Chain A
Amino acid sequence: MANFHMIPAGINLEFINKRIIFFTFSVVLILTSLGLFGVNGLNYGIDFKGGIMMEVRSTSGPADIGKMRNQLSTLGLGEVSIQEFGEPEEVLIRIQRQDGGEKAQSLAVEAVKDVFKDTVEYRRTEFVGPKVSEELFMDGLMAVSLAIGAILVYIWFRFEWQFGLGAVIALLHDVISTIGIFALLGMEFNLSTVAAVLTIAGYSINDTVVVFDRVRENLRKYKTKDLAQLLNESINQTLSRTVMTSVTTLLALFALYILGGEVIRGFSFAMIWGIFIGTYSSVCLAVPVLLYFNIRRTDDEDEEDSEIEKVADEGAV
């Protein structure tokens, strides 16, 4: 049975030699992302800035958004956005955070329900007051920073500091560019986006660790080989796996993006982006930057270990 090979055996692409191209691309990507974040900012959902979100479905055919907008404009609730959501009957209403503390949000929801009464089905009603939104924002920030910190510590512990640094550069690259794409597209940035960012961080590191593992193994095997060549070989040796895993994950994510419904579309979008960028950064960023960090090449203890392992392997056959 001949199996399909995604990446042909013995592939040898130039990654390390083209690193300047990758670095340039990534620096531009990061700067653009930061710029977009600075200029456009993020379109924070109610989780982080407070306010009201209601998903309603018209009970009498396609929703008349213009009419609904007029109805709501009489309430004086400040900025109100109404848009179609998935289907013509469905409408997503977003209302800015109401002044007057926690109670005002609740009253505004009641006011909206009084206007629409039974002409719509209330599929989802959410409001977040100023207190909670602030906390959720801080918690999200905390979770992302702690995750990056904890992953750094783990890599540092398992590898050498150079690898930790490489991994974190790749990780920050992925996180910042994900924020950048959200700023560019103006997609809603909410709690599930933070979940996606954290998962992207985990995934990106996962990819990086696999290549790093191979680099470490090769460093032990070939004491004198040119570092650039060794890094390039390590990438190529693991390339098949890197691509395979990205493909299986993307298969699952595309299913989720297309079929999983409106509510998690933002989440699956962020994840899909993250898989692409995470795969890219592991291969084209995390490994090439190792070239610039002074990696130790001799480690007698490890050498003995691998010798013993080899003997044991052969013995078992």
Chain B
Amino acid sequence: MVYFAKWKIALVVIVCLLGVAFAAPNLMSRNMSDNLPSWIPNQQISLGLDLQGGSHLLLEVEAQTVINERLEALVDTIRTSLRAERIRYTGLGMNENTVHVNIKKPDQVDAAYDILRKLDIGSDTDVENGRITITLTELAIKEAKRSAVEQSIEIVRRRIDETGTKEPTIQRQGDERIIIQLPGIDNPEDVKRLLGKTAKMNFHLVNHNVSGEDLAAGRIPAGTIALPDAEDERRLVAVRRKIEVRGDMLIDSQPTFQDGRPVISFTFNSLGAKKFASVTSKNINRSLAIVLDGKVISAPNIQGAILGGSGIITGRFSVSEANDLSLLLRAGALPAPLVILEERSVGPGLGADSVAAGKIASFVGLLAVVIFMVVSYGRFGFYADVALMVNIILIMAALSLLQATLTLPGIAGIVLTVGMAVDANVLIFERIREELRNGLGPLASVDSGYKRAITTIIDANITTLIAAVLLFEFGSGPVRGFAVTLGIGILTSMFTAIMVTRLQVVMWLRRKKPKTLNF
């Protein structure tokens, strides 16, 4: 056994060197490591938000809204197309994923069916006793939701980028959720305010024929809707349902001032500009309502055709409201509202304190274990301590290499690994002591100690590894960080405790050839 295969020695040395190489950038400042030549490992461990400070937000896209809007649009189209064909109907309405309508005359059912079937390609149309039901297919619903979530991610990214947040992480989670990580932002109220609005802006014509009394009494003609005023929600404005120009045709919008009051200037793309020109030229002296998220911001009188494709939104904005709104219009509307399911924000003070506390705890824990091992096992304990140091270097290297995130529980995982890593050595050393007591010579004892302990070590570590894997799978956020360091720690500690100590022990035995082991 005193023979230690050359390739094993090489392996140990190479792994240790690689470990040092990959762990080393963590000792440098960010600047230094960034300036290293590209062939030298320069990745540092990334600290979790709980250590560097920042916000974690979990959002859900209310994707059903998109489906509802699609069904509402379908209802509108059905109404107009059936009217155009003079087909009489009753009970036009929608359910969760379906639209239904009853055709009055049996002889018109087939004709109606032919029209309705072509309206939405993502639907199945059934007819039964004159009742036609259009159901969105599973696939269409899934696809619509998927694209809503994807669009939302894009819009969220644009909005956050506009705020100038550095290195935000925006990821999809599951089917309808988005995780946002904002390093350095410990008070995310601004971001939350920006994400809380869908910012759908559309231009509608005001219906001047509806009097104030009609509005108050709810007597509203078909094709017209009553929308609340953004300033005073009790005040209603009657606008035509038809959208004249859509806000998604905006290409720019900026806050500016007019007569000393904050206003928002906007510019349409060419199609938008054309539509805007046509609406404004045909409706001079009527009012055009600017509707944001179902509320009328303002309804200025059209004084003349606006041909340039740009204009100004006035309203009672404060400067910051004008800033926000123009940002939202620039970034685009969310396809569906977002709800914040979870927020976890840590200020930089607490993060720094946690890092400091984690460092001290790790150092003291490490020192205590190191001393205890030497006191208990002398020279062998020292070898185990060397292995322990290598182990910590390897954990750092693995974390840098995998770009895993180190969290506070992750530091706890490392400290725990320090305590448990020496276990493999304890097992081996205790076994060696036993074999010595049984009368075996030093070499035989060491040999047998390693051999017999190894299956136990593997069995014992695999069980802990199972726990770590499950923690990673089911844990979230910081707890995952714990699972990562625990798992990595188990793997590296098996390597160092078995290979690194063994190499040292073998080299010592070969050099000294001791007759007895005082152990």
Contacts and interface: CB of A to CB of B under 8 A. Distances in A.
Given A129-B341, A261-B357, A240 B430 contact: yes
A311 interface: no
A312 to B, nearest CB: 9
B239 to A, nearest CB: 27
A199 B466 CA distance: 10
B447 A209 contact: no
B465 to A, nearest CB: 8
A159 to B, nearest CB: 9
Nearest to A54: B345
B376 A244 contact: yes
B22 interface: no
B349 A129 contact: no
A207 B354 CA distance: 31
Given A201-B467, A267-B409, A241 B479 contact: no
A39 interface: no
Instruction: Point out which of A10, A110, A132, A314 has the most chain B C-beta atoms below 10 A from its C-beta.
Output: A132
Contacts of A260: 357-358, 361, 411-412, 415
Interface string B60-73: 10000000000000
Contacts of B60: 102, 131
Contacts of B408: 261, 263-264
Interface stretch (A66-74, A119-127, A290-298): A119-127
A151 B459 CA distance: 11
A248 B373 contact: yes
Given A199-B416, A241-B430, A317-B443, A154 B471 contact: no
B430 A125 contact: no
Interface in B346-392: 346-347, 349-350, 353-354, 357-358, 360-362, 364-366, 368-369, 372-373, 375-379, 381
Given A209-B456, A248-B426, A250-B419, A143 B474 contact: yes
Nearest to B379: A1
A2 interface: yes
B31 interface: no
A27 interface: no
Interface stretch (A75-83, A178-186, A187-195): A187-195
Contact of A3 (B378, B441, B474): B378
B415 A252 contact: yes
B473 to A, nearest CB: 7
Contacts of B437: 9-10
B13 interface: no
A55 B236 CA distance: 44
A25 interface: no
Nearest to B422: A248
Interface in B406-443: 408-409, 411-412, 415-416, 418-420, 422-423, 426-427, 430, 433-434, 437, 440-441, 443
Interface stretch (B118-126, B185-193, B211-219): B185-193
Interface string A218-256: 000000000000000000011011001101111111111
A108 B34 CA distance: 42
Contacts of B470: 143, 146-147, 150, 198
Interface residues on A, range: 35 or more
Interface string B80-105: 00000000000000000000000000
Given A123-B349, A191-B476, A255-B361, A4 B447 contact: no
B1 interface: yes
Contacts of B269: none
Contact of A202 (B362, B443, B466): B466
Contacts of B409: 192, 195, 264, 267
A122 to B, nearest CB: 6
A251 B362 CA distance: 11
Contacts of B463: 151, 154-155, 202, 205-206, 209
Contacts of A313: 444, 447-448, 451
B345 A106 contact: no
Instruction: Point out which of A142, A248, A316 has the most chain B C-beta atoms below 10 A from its C-beta.
Output: A248
B486 interface: yes
Nearest to B518: A1
Given A113-B189, A132-B58, A55 B350 contact: yes
Grouping DSSP codes into helix (H, G, I), strand (E, B) and loop, the A interface class, with mixed when no group exceeds half, is helix
A259 interface: yes
Interface in B319-359: 339-347, 349-350, 353-354, 357-358
A267 B343 contact: no
Given A201-B467, A251-B419, A256-B412, A123 B350 contact: yes
Contact of A206 (B347, B366, B375, B464): B464
Given A147-B467, A210-B456, A1 B378 contact: yes
Contacts of A155: 463
B131 to A, nearest CB: 35
B372 A247 contact: yes
Contacts of B477: 191
B432 to A, nearest CB: 11
Contacts of B461: 206
B347 A4 contact: no
Nearest to A86: B353
B15 to A, nearest CB: 24
Interface of A: 1-6, 9-10, 55, 57, 101-103, 105-106, 109-110, 113, 121-129, 131-132, 136, 139-140, 142-143, 146-147, 150-151, 154-155, 158, 191-192, 194-195, 198-199, 201-203, 205-207, 209-210, 213-214, 217, 237-238, 240-241, 244-245, 247-256, 258-261, 263-264, 267-268, 271, 309, 313-314, 316-317
**Which 6 residue pairs of A and B lie closest in terms of their CB atoms, listed nearest first?**
A252-B419, A249-B419, A255-B365, A202-B467, A261-B357, A202-B464
